[in-house]
Amino acid sequence: MVQRCLAVAALLLAGCSPSGPEVGAASAAGSSQAAAEGGVFDHATTAECLDDERCRQSVLQRIDTRMGGLDYGAGFPTDETVERLYEEMDYQRAVLAHQLSDNLVSFWRMHAGARDAIAGSAIGDLVVWENFLDTKGIVLTGNDTTVYGMAYLDLAANGPMVVKVPPSPFLGSILDLWQVPLSGIDAEGGTFVVVTADFEGELDLPPGAVVLRSRTSVAVFFARGLVLEGDMDAAVSAVTDSEIYPLSVADSPPETEVWLASGVAMDTISPMQPMAYWADVSEVMNFLNPGLDQDASLLISLLEPLGVQPGRPFDPDDRQKRILADAAHFGWVMAQAISYAPRFEDITYYPGTQWEWVLELDPGVRDRFWRDLEARTNYYFQATMAQPAMKTKAVGRGSQYVRSARDSNGDWFDLAPQRMRLGRQQTIGTLASGRQARPTGSRVRYTSAEEAEKE
């Protein structure tokens, strides 16, 4: 009897006294009376009923929520209510999982897009844009004044990997697949041995090597060759002279396979098609370590009821597909709002202007940066690879990024009828619904004016 009273009190916020079986009858009578009085409390929530006995009895039959009214019988959810609650819960889980996974998928697509476009290329190879990026390569926030290069390191297949960068006009980094920087690399170069976070074996290190531990079993070497005084050859060599090989063959390392990517048509941006996006999430889950990584553990637990799990084929049923599709669309529009209409107090670069900081937090302060989901979403919807140098304010060093998507009156840019100059290229930008723009917010494919006129 006492347990029954406690259950009713805790779950239903209804009055209960240890007077015996008549409690249930009194509750039912109170509910009937409230219903007979014209639904006075039809729109009350449990929180609003704390100080009103009749209201407390009313919510034994129906509770209004943001998702509409939920029906109860004797204070317990009906079968229909249970089904609706699980449907909503799984949807909310999927929306949060979309935000958590966006930077993972975005980073993985840079490899997958190049792999799919360059026949014969494989993980571990070095892909280089030797003649800058152009309109054929769709890359998130890439510019056309830097020689880019990247190589993805499969630590599960190869064990510890060596990355060796000679002194050169170079700026780069090594990151895990969450895009957490493990180390920056400057013009002095360096030798790095990358291992998984749980690696416990002996390491026979090359001279001067620095050990980096990655939370994910795939790590990324990202390179920028800097063009100084017009010297393109030195910028390209700064990237292509890098060496990448398993530590196990350090005594006789193989030549690094290099693929040239300028002029190659490829799409390296997160898929807009929902099932393609979640298929990528399912794939990158296999590179996570939930035993050591709280972010990984949370992501996997959120998606398990929806058929997105590591080590298993991605094959959701119709119900799961419907929820995943809705969540992907809503997750995307939420991320766009967070990125382009941020609500951070210190986001404005200069008072009275529409210029905003691209990077809200300092990636060098890992515990804060990687635990602030909204700041993370704000950046990774529009860009990739945050570095501490992007926040360091030092004259002559580092980079400071600002952006704006509004005019001086605070209205959104409408670029549909206009040409504008970005970098060295004459370009046309359009709204997301236009033919010449990829519908991804800042993830817009800008087509050259000459190409656009041919279409």
- Are 69 and 132 in the same domain? no
- Whole-angstrom Cα distance, residue 360 to residue 343? 11
- Whole-angstrom Cα distance, residue 10 to residue 422? 61
Work out whether the CA dihedral 109, 114, 117, 123 comes out positive or negative: negative
- Are 12 and 123 in the same domain? no
Q: Of 232, 263, 294, which one is at a domain's C-terminal end? A: 263
Q: Of 263, 281, 300, which one is at a domain's C-terminal end? A: 263
> Has residue 245 been placed in a domain?
yes
Q: Which domain holds residue 133?
A: 119-263
Hey, which residues does 175 pair with through a beta bridge?
181, 220
Provide the token pair at 247. Answer: 């530590």
- Are 63 and 143 in the same domain? no
> Has residue 195 been placed in a domain?
yes
- Are 209 and 129 in the same domain? yes
The model's pTM: 0.79
* Residues 6+ away with beta carbon under 8 Å from 89: none
- Are 236 and 149 in the same domain? yes
CATH number at 251 reads 2.60.40.1610
Hey, which residues does 412 pair with through a beta bridge?
406
> Has residue 204 been placed in a domain?
yes
Note the pLDDT of residue 449: 35
Instruction: Show the low-confidence residues of the chain (pLDDT under 50).
Output: 1-40, 419-455
- Tens of pLDDT, residue by residue over 17-31, are 333 333 333 333 333
- Are 148 and 23 in the same domain? no
- Are 243 and 146 in the same domain? yes
Note the pLDDT of residue 141: 83
Q: Are 446 and 429 in contact (CB under 8 A)?
A: yes
- Are 158 and 43 in the same domain? no
> Has residue 105 been placed in a domain?
no
Cα distances from 256 to residues 181, 225, 245, 363, 430, in angstroms, run: 23, 17, 7, 30, 40
Give how many domains the chain has, as a whole number.
Answer: 2
Q: What is the amino acid identity at position 128?
A: V
Note the pLDDT of residue 21: 36
- Are 257 and 185 in the same domain? yes
- Whole-angstrom Cα distance, residue 237 to residue 56? 74
- Are 158 and 49 in the same domain? no
- Tens of pLDDT, residue by residue over 287-341, are 999 999 999 999 999 999 999 999 999 999 999 999 999 999 999 999 999 999 9
- Whole-angstrom Cα distance, residue 197 to residue 213? 5
DSSP state letter for 142: -
> Has residue 149 been placed in a domain?
yes
> Has residue 43 been placed in a domain?
yes
Q: Of 77, 95, 130, which one is at a domain's C-terminal end? A: 77
- Are 36 and 134 in the same domain? no
> Has residue 58 been placed in a domain?
yes
- Are 152 and 215 in the same domain? yes
Note the pLDDT of residue 42: 54
> Has residue 420 been placed in a domain?
no
List the helix and strand counts (H, then E) for the chain: 12, 20
Torsion of CA 288, 292, 294, 300, to 10 degrees: 40
